[in-house]
Structure 1
Amino acid sequence: MGMSVTISAAREGDCEQILKLQYLCYQSEAELYGDYSIEPLTQTLDGLRDELGSGYALVARLGDEVVASVRGSVDASGTGRIDKLIVHPRMQGHGLGSRLLSAIEEHFAGQLSAKRFRLFTGHRSESNLRLYRKHGYAPVATEALSPGLSLVTLEKDASAREFVASA
């Protein structure tokens, strides 16, 4: 008998699992850009706890294991900032990232009255860019952080309805 993945708000006790998953998931990004000093790989447990204390996070669980997560916050202007959408490598390609992205958008729009959503990714992170475009995000800015890394900022209006194709 298989287990189904459930999505819920992150709890204080999830911090260690989220941090370990984040470290695992960002290895491929670090390799892609040749930079293992990126913030997701250097963040401390206390730093993560502080971040979660001032924002909102969702986790996807398979049994007791956190297999995916997303977090963010809504600022005073009504912008829902979505950060660190991560999915365990063995769980990728099954729509879990789409489910988490939709769930955090729904929470921000419904509970926190977000007017727009904003997120960013590296310019070479094609699978991330493809996912975000599929969800209706459009690039609004690109910032060069180093000769090998530019961050692409994408946004969409909270009232936009995306039509996600089945995988």
Structure 2
Amino acid sequence: MGMSVTISEAGEQDAEKILKLQYLCYQSEAELYGDYSIEPLTQSLDSIKAELTTGRVLVARLGDEVVASVRGTVGTDGTARIDKLIVHPRMQRHGLGGRLLDAIEQRLGAGGTAKYFQLSSGHRSEQNLQLYRKHGYTAVSNQHVNERLTVVTLAKEAAAGAYVARA
């Protein structure tokens, strides 16, 4: 490609770019489950701006373009919740999702803050589930939402995630 992808903390100036990327990335999920009213497609710009101040938000950039993002928070019980790991469709299947997952785990786990990492995915989202399993996550619960969707929650101990990120 000629340029390398860099991962950094997102700023308020990234909120609109994250929202647009999120809308693009969740189209395939909406199609997979036959539901275009899912929260990532209806989330407001103000809501994303609020997430920038209440949790950790990372972006991956190719030059000036935001091509991937992930969000995370650590609860008072030490559970780090990782949400909305998104990668631009043209950048998928090149390891960027795994790099972002490693980066958010590292930041949420810094200083021993996080005891466990937890994330969720729809049961039909096999590429997502495969990525999470590859990174040490195991299914801990299933929540039947409706006839089309079961949400799979996966988790791992933070100590299990404390390894050097791969290049």
TM-score category, normalised to shorter length: over 0.9
The 2-side partners of 1:92 and 1:39 are apart by: 22
TM-score, normalised via structure 2 length: 0.95
1:34-53 equivalences under 5 Å are 34-53=34-53
TM-score, normalised via structure 1 length: 0.95
| 1:61 alignment partner in structure 2 | 61
The 1-side partners of 2:112 and 2:121 are apart by: 24
Contact 2:11 2:52 in 1 (8 A): no
Contact 1:15 1:48 in 2 (8 A): yes
Contact 1:135 1:163 in 2 (8 A): no
- RMSD across aligned positions (CA): 1.7
| 1:126 alignment partner in structure 2 | 126
Matched AA of 2:81: R
List alignment gaps of at least 5 residues for structure 1.
Answer: none
Change (3 A) 1:151 1:138: same
Structure 1 vs Structure 2: percent identity of aligned residues?
67
User: Can you list the C-alpha shifts for 1:4-49, whole angstroms capped at 9, x where unaligned?
Assistant: 0000000110000000000000000000000000000000101111
| 2:93 alignment partner in structure 1 | 93
Specify the SS of the correspondent of 2:37.
Answer: coil
Count matched residues: 165
Runs of at least 4 residues off by over 6 Å: none
The 2-side partners of 1:14 and 1:163 are apart by: 29
The 2-side partners of 1:82 and 1:56 are apart by: 9
